[in-house]
Amino acid sequence: MEPSLTQRIYAVVRCVPYGKVVSYGQVAMLAGSPRASRIVGYALHRNPEPNVIPCHRVVFKDGSLCAGYVFGGADVQRGLLLDEGVVFDQNGRVDMAQSRWIAEQA
């Protein structure tokens, strides 16, 4: 049986290394559904294993954080990313040029 889109999303996010981030669109593409960015957000909102599936490493393509980060808000997400050494720009967005995870496939 082929894994569901949600299972594929979780598999991709599990692969994002410490100190790196991906965009919702990247996750969708790597999960095999390039137009499913919103579904990525829905799946991460229901993350069954927040200590295993590092959804805090998923950000918007411009590096901004989700205001409603499910596990405590954007400040918590920012703190987790800062603790991992993720670089932010002067506007408070993740510096995607420095911190984006580049993966051909998960």
Helices (H) and strands (E) in the chain, counts: 5, 2
Structural domain 5-97, CATH architecture: Orthogonal Bundle (1.10)
55 is catalytic: yes
**Catalytic pick from 12, 31, 55, 106?**
55
Q: What is the DSSP string of 4-54?
A: PHHHHHHHHHHHSPTT-BEEHHHHHHHTT-TT-HHHHHHHHHT-S-TTTS-
Query: Angle at Cα 51 formed by Cα 54 and Cα 99, nearest 5°?
Result: 25
Of 13, 86, 26, the closest CA to residue 55 belongs to 13
Beta carbons of 82 and 90 less than 8 angstroms apart:
no
Q: In whole angstroms, what is the distance from residue 106 CA to residue 99 CA?
A: 17
Instruction: Quote the pTM value.
Output: 0.91
Give residue limits of the domains in the chain: 5-97
| Structure-token match 């954007």, residue found | 74
pLDDT tens, N- to C-terminus, the chain (106 residues): 778 999 999 999 999 999 999 999 999 999 999 999 999 999 999 999 988 999 999 999 999 998 775 667 778 899 999 999 999 999 999 999 999 999 864 4
pLDDT score of 104: 63
